[in-house]
A and B are shown apart, each in its own frame.
Chain A
Amino acid sequence: MIYLELFIAFFLANILGYGGGPSVIPLIKYEAVDRYGWMDGSRFAEILALGNTLPGPIATKMAGYIGYEQGGILGATIALIATVLPSLLLMIGLLKLLMKFKSSPRIQNMMLLIQPVIIALLATIAIDFFVDSFDKIGSIHLILISAVSLFVMEKLKLHPFFVIVAALIYGFFVI
Chain B
Amino acid sequence: MWSNMIWALLRVSILGFGGGPSSIPLLHKEAVEKYKWFTDEEFTNILAIGNSLPGPILTKMAGYVGYYLKGTLGAIIAILITTVPTIAAMIGLFALLGSVSGNVHVENATTAIEPVIGVMLAVMAYQMWHKNKQKLGLIISIGMTGIIAALLYFTNLHPAFLIVALLIIGALRSKPISIKKQEKGAKQ
B112 touches A137 (CB 8 A): yes
Chain A residues near B63 (CB, 8 Å)?
A: 84, 88, 91-92
Q: 15 more A-B contacts (CB under 8 A) besides A55-B13, A103-B185, A105-B173? A: A18-B54, A50-B93, A50-B94, A53-B110, A55-B16, A57-B56, A65-B90, A87-B60, A106-B171, A117-B148, A122-B122, A129-B21, A136-B107, A168-B110, A171-B105
Contacts of B83 in A (CB 8 A): 56-57, 60-61, 64, 80, 84
Contact status A103-B90, CB under 8 Å: no
A117–B153 alpha-carbon span in the complex (Å): 12
B-contact 0/1 string along A132-161, CB 8 Å cutoff = 110011000110011001100110000111
Residue of A nearest to B145 (CB): A116
The 0/1 profile, CB within 8 Å of B marked 1, for residues 97-131 of chain A is 01000111111111111111111111111111110
The 0/1 profile, CB within 8 Å of A marked 1, for residues 155-188 of chain B is 0001110110011011111111110000011001
- Near A by CB (< 8 A), chain B positions 120-161 give 120-125, 128-129, 132, 135-136, 141, 144-146, 148-149, 151-153, 158-160
Do B101 and A49 touch across chains, with their CB atoms under 8 A apart? yes
Q: Which residues of A contact B100 (CB under 8 A)?
A: 49-50, 53
- Can you name 13 A-B residue pairings with CB atoms under 8 Å? A17-B54, A20-B56, A20-B57, A56-B16, A57-B56, A60-B82, A83-B59, A102-B185, A115-B44, A116-B144, A129-B22, A132-B114, A159-B29
Q: How many residues of B contact A (CB 8 A)?
A: 109
A2 close to chain B: CB less than 8 A = no
Contact of A175 among B29, B53, B112, B178 (CB under 8 A): B112
Say which residue of B29, B60, B128, B146 sits within 8 Å of A118 (CB atoms): B128
Question: Is A130's CB under 8 angstroms from B118's CB?
Answer: yes
The chain A residue sitting closest to B158, CB to CB, is A19
B109 engages A125 (CB within 8 Å) = no
How many residues of chain A get a CB closer than 8 Å to chain B's CBs?
94
Q: Is chain A's interface secondary structure helix, strand, loop, or mixed overall?
A: helix
Q: How far is the CA of A159 from the CA of B127 in the complex (A)?
A: 18
Alpha-carbon separation in the docked complex, A59 to B86 (Å):
11
User: Which chain B residues border A116 with CB–CB below 8 Å?
Assistant: 132, 136, 141, 144-145, 148
Q: Which residues of A contact B159 (CB under 8 A)?
A: 117, 120-121
**In the complex, chain B residues whose CB is within 8 Å of the CB of A78:** none
Say if the beta carbon of B99 comes within 8 Å of chain A: yes
B47 at the interface (CB under 8 A from A): yes
B20, B26, B173 interface centre (most CB from chain A within 10 Å):
B20
- Complex contacts, A160 vs chain B, CB 8 Å: 15, 25-26, 29, 116, 120
Q: Contact between B174 and A105 (Cβ–Cβ < 8 Å)?
A: yes
List of A residues within 8 angstroms of B153 by Cβ: 124, 127
